[in-house]
Amino acid sequence: MATLTLRNLDDETKARLRLRAARHQVSMEAEARTILKEALATAEAPNSLVVSIRKRIAAVGGVELELPERGPMRAPPRFGK
């Protein structure tokens, strides 16, 4: 297990964490772990280029492209013979 130290946490945030931990009857440390786990479990993965393009296009209704028919694969080249 790793250790994390938070510095320069403002007083209001610390007080809210303390109250939230008290409501859940756990330590402030346990409450902070829970908050981090929940936040990171629902966080989106970094968007790939494909995801970014799809989001942008979805706003205007998307794009339907006609896909050409696929033909048979050609034989691979033979080198050295």
pLDDT band at 16 (very low <50, low <70, confident <90, very high): very high
* Whole-number pLDDT of residue 81: 65
* Whole-number pLDDT of residue 26: 97
Spans of all domains in the chain: 11-58
Global pTM exceeds 0.85: no
pLDDT band at 20 (very low <50, low <70, confident <90, very high): very high
Cα-based distances in Å from 19 to 8, 24, 37:
19, 9, 19
| Residue 19 near residue 27, CB atoms below 8 Å | no
The Cα–Cα gap between 39 and 47 comes to 17
Instruction: Residue 28: name the closest of 38, 37, 18 by CA.
Output: 18
* Whole-number pLDDT of residue 43: 62
The Cα–Cα gap between 54 and 59 comes to 9
pLDDT by residue (tens digit) across 24-71?
999 999 999 999 998 888 766 667 888 888 888 887 877 788 999 999
